[in-house]
Amino acid sequence: MNASRLIAIFLVVGTVIWIGSAYLVGDDTADDAAMAQADDASTTGASVTANAPGTDGATRASVRTITSNAVDHVDFLRVSGRTEAVISVEIRAETEASVVELGIAKGQPINKGDLIAKLAVDGRMAQVQKARALVAQRELESKAAESLAEKNYRSKTGVAQTLALLEEARADLKIAQTELNHTEIRAPFDGIVENLPADIGDLMSIGDPVATLIKADPMLVVAHVPEHSIRAIDLGQLAHVRLYDGTEYDGIVRYAARVADNSTRTFRVEVEIDNTDLSIPDGMTAEMEIPVGTKRAHQVLPSVLTLNDDGKLGVRSVVDGNKVDFLPVELQGGNRERVWIGGLPEKFELIVVGHDWVKEGATVGVVHLETDENGLPIPTEVKDAETDADDQSATTLSEKVAR
């Protein structure tokens, strides 16, 4: 065996030994890591076991509660609707003629009797004059016939015939005068010209629209009430209206339908509100609130509402001192800041903080909070600030100087 072969053998054996030593060291490191993980797991398990309810008396979580008391609450029927002019009329032409004058512009207020549009007179004035002349003639003939009849020179039949001709002439005169009057289209009431499709030069036929006139004072707020609530609404009842732009008005119920809409099974309700300044437009979205009775309810913050595993809306409370319970509720109105809920006991311990992190039946630590005059929790920072203020006010001047 030559020297080169011996050197190669030694190199291979050295490489194998070096690689094997690395595996041996890795196993020891892995064993150490496994032992460390086991120690951590046992520590974590001991901690979980210590915090699990019912094992050694420790609680899983802490919640904050208030004592909620039911009070008398005015129940409102809230329904969406829209504003609607009390009168909306489409004025149409009653004779055939072309438009020669417009007395008002679109969107302008108008008084009763004001000119809206004037149509061409054409030969209507001549027809009136002709009818007047014929009436005058028939009147003379009728008087002459009566005079002759008194002297027995004319029969009663002749007198009746001349009287009939006189009445016919008077009727023709009235028709001619009416036809002439139809050339001037005037407002039938005080209102606003909402639309004016007619223009100067347009040839109007009988029945063609000339203008749309609305009366916006008072303004109506119209809504459709479901059938289960219509009996609670009475005529003359007070109502509150909030428009889409945030303005609010008080009104009265002036109409409540007694026949339901066949397609929606709802009843039309109209609330009348004041609009003397004509600031409320027709067709604006509105929300109507009508008081329909008094109920017992709890006033709470919207944040305390939650859903259980079945998807039911409710609140969580504490019973037996430290057990969590779920109570389903029914909403009875409110706003984004406060809501009224019913279907609850007269008095119970309501969880206001931590209710989303606990389940029914869990054992919890309870921190009771004080409430204000409305039964809502007083924030901790406010209470602490008041306490600090009291402490500062109780500090003497010498103590402040010493500080």
pLDDT tier at 272 (50, 70, 90 boundaries)?
Answer: very high
Q: Sheet harboring 203-204: ordered strands across?
A: 184-186, 115-119, 97-102, 203-204
pLDDT of residue 60: 64
Indicate the range of 35-49, 260-274, 288-302 predicted with least confidence: 35-49
Q: Which residue has the higher pLDDT, 112 or 59?
A: 112
In which residue are the tokens 């809920």 written? 341
- Give DSSP secondary structure letters for 87-112: EEEEEE-SS-EEEEEE-S-TT-EE-T
* Backbone phi, psi, residue 241, to 5°: -125, 135
| Token pair belonging to 88 | 């909306």
- Per-residue pLDDT reduced to its tens digit, 24-40: 444 444 344 333 433 44
What does the mean pLDDT of the chain come to?
81
Average pLDDT over residues 40-59: 40
pLDDT at 400 over 50: no
- Per-residue pLDDT reduced to its tens digit, 241-254: 999 999 999 999 99
> Are 271 and 254 within 8 A, CB to CB?
yes
pLDDT at 156 over 60: yes
Taking the complete model, does pTM exceed 0.75, yes or no? no
pLDDT at 160 over 80: yes
pLDDT of residue 20: 57
Helix (H) or strand (E) holding 387: helix 380-394
pLDDT of residue 212: 94
Q: Under 8 Å CB-to-CB from 3, ≥6 apart: which residues?
A: none
SS3 205: coil
pLDDT tier at 100 (50, 70, 90 boundaries)?
Answer: very high
pLDDT at 326 over 80: yes
pLDDT at 11 over 80: no
Instruction: Specify burial of residue 212 (Cβ count, 10 A radius: 0-12, 13-18, 19+).
Output: middle
CA distances (Å), origin 315, targets 28, 70, 180, 325: 55, 14, 75, 9
- Per-residue pLDDT reduced to its tens digit, 205-255: 999 999 999 998 899 999 999 988 888 898 999 999 999 999 999 999 999
- In the chain, the percentage of residues whose pLDDT exceeds 90 is 48
Q: Which residue has the higher pLDDT, 271 or 50?
A: 271
pLDDT tier at 323 (50, 70, 90 boundaries)?
Answer: very high
pLDDT of residue 336: 81
- Per-residue pLDDT reduced to its tens digit, 121-151: 988 899 999 999 999 998 998 888 888 878 7
pLDDT at 79 over 80: yes
pLDDT of residue 46: 33
